Structure formats: structure tokens, C-alpha cells
Structure 1
Amino acid sequence: MANKILTLVLALLSTSLLHANADTNSTTEVQSGIYSLRNRESGLLLRPRDAGRKDGNTMVLYPEYNWKCLKWDVDSTDSGCTLRNLFTDKTFQPGDSSPKAGTPVLQQTMDPALKLQRWDILSSADGYVKIRLAGTALYLMPAVPHAEVNTALVLGPWEDLPAQHWKMEAKDRQSDM
């Protein structure tokens, strides 16, 4: 009986330590693949505004359709993830080279060497993830509470808000548009 209790206590302690360090490690906890990114609070998906292909285009929330602009090719490495939009063939990054809370998240041509395009995707509650700009304490979130269609995305500190949780839904490359 004492061995079972000791085993249970050790298991609980190791689980607690893993959760305590979840926001300080840079390990991405998702496999490479094609995903849509659904915001927990709004139920809307991440995409470039108006599916525009221009650098500097705002990243927004949008309803679900089987469109390439709502799908992301996630490449997971030890140094974080890159996310390439299947329609624009671009990624997103902070709109400022020294990002802080409130910095907009904008579309940009992919540059594998650019650290501002690397994201840590960390496990959260109930199968959701939090998406953190690698090497920072800034997370992807809507610019305003209770986001609606075409609400812009920004970076903000972790507050464990439903709007900061994302569901990564595996998709195939096939699309209607």
C-alpha cells in the first residue's frame, strides 16, 4: 500500500512540475501537418484578412469554410513552429521587431532564419493549445474581447482567457477554394 501511495505522489509531483514549466520551455508540443486554428472563445478560424496575399496584411478571425486561406502547414522543430498559409504561401509575425502587448500580428513572406516567425505551440486545457511567440511571454489572441468576424489578432501576456486558447484541427490539403 505504501508503495502505491509513493508512486501516486511521485506521479502527481512530476505532472505538477511539467505544468509549472510549460510556459518557460521552448518545446513545441504539436506534430507537423496541415491544421486550421480555431479560437476557443469565438469559434472562428485564423486567416489573413480578405485572404489577401500582401505582406503586412492583418491576421483575423473568420468562419469555417473548406478554403486554403483557413489552413496552415505547421512545421514543428526543436526551435519552435513555422506556420505557412496554404493559400498565400506566407506566414505571420509581429508587426514590430520589438513586440510587446498589443502588437498586431501581420502576414509576411516566410524567412526560415527570422526568429519573429517562430511560434511555440504549448498544450493547454481540454485539447486546446496556446500559441506563444518563441523566446517571449507573448501569446496570440484577438485584439478585443468577444471577437467577431474579421477581428484582428495581436500579442498579449498570458492571462488564461478563453480567447487565448486555440484548437488545432487536422485538415487535408483539399479545398473548395
Structure 2
Amino acid sequence: MSALYNDERPSIFVIPNPLSFLAHKGRTIGSYLAGGLVALGWWIFIDAVIQASSDHTDDAVKMGFEDWFSGILTSLGMLVINLIDKSRLQGEAFSYAGSNLVWKARLFLFLGFALIAGGFAGSVCVLIIKYVVNHDSAQPYLYYGVAAVVQCTLLMFSSAILWVAQSTQEEYEYNVRL
């Protein structure tokens, strides 16, 4: 039976992985998937903004800057996290002209995660305070707040997928250390 699979990679399973042809394109697939999640998140939020602006009733809840701020904050956090050179996060040997690049890279990584967490928490707070607590007039407009939370959630997942995709070195090797 092992003679049948000599031309393929060694596997612990009897049946070879049917998706093994995608393994060498892990970085590309991860990047496209992350970009698709960012586009989907912003599309859902922009859809809610368009619905809110087209509603011309007197009791309509309008989307203001407080609704936009969490998505902007989460997008900025995603940008900060994924712009960090991953090799700068490992070890203490990197020092440049007396300054410690590892410490600075970890600080920016923390700030990026703080921006993402703050944006997500802000979207949940806006959902609860603006769209859930006010049962009288805001209940039909709950979609506006849910869209912001979904947007931030998709941006968080996109950031994680892009982090793993950028950390991919070979077919089956991921470097997800901090």
C-alpha cells in the first residue's frame, strides 16, 4: 500500500488529503480570504449607513460618528498589527543603535490589539446603549448597531487570518509565536 503513495508527501492517514493542492498557496489564499472579510465587513456597515440615510421618518435613528468610530478604530488596529515585521517580535538579540526593536515591535503589537479590542467593545457599547436600551424608537433600527458589531467581528477575524497567512513559511509550517 505504501508503494501507491510514494510520489506524494508522507502522511499519517491512509487516504491522502484531497485539498493538498491548496497547501502551497496558503499565503495567497489567506490574504484573499482576509481581504474578502474586510470588504464584507465594510459592505455590511455601509449597507446599514445607506439604509439609515434613506429612512426619512420622524422617529428614525440616524447613524452618527459614534457608529463609524468603532469600525475605523478596528481597521486601524488591523493595519498596525499586520504592518509589524514578525521577525522583530522574536528574541532579545535585535538591538539597533542602542534602542531595542523587539520591545518597540511588541509595544506596537499591543497597541494594535488594544485598538481592535477597543473598536469591538465600542461597537458593542453603541449597540447596547443606542439601539437596545431605547426600546421605544430604536427597536426597528437594531440592524444598524448589529451591522457595526458584525463589521468589527469580521475585521478581527480578518486580522487573525492575515497574521497566520503572513507567518506561513512553508506548506505545513506556521509560525504563530508572539
Relative contact order (alpha carbons < 8 A, sep ≥ 6): 1 or 2 greater?
2
- Where is the helix percentage greater, Structure 1 or Structure 2? 2
Q: What is the TM-score with the length of structure 2 in the denominator?
A: 0.22
Q: What is the TM-score with the length of structure 1 in the denominator?
A: 0.22
- Computing the radius of gyration over CA atoms, which structure comes out larger, 1 or 2? 2
- Where is the strand percentage greater, Structure 1 or Structure 2? 1
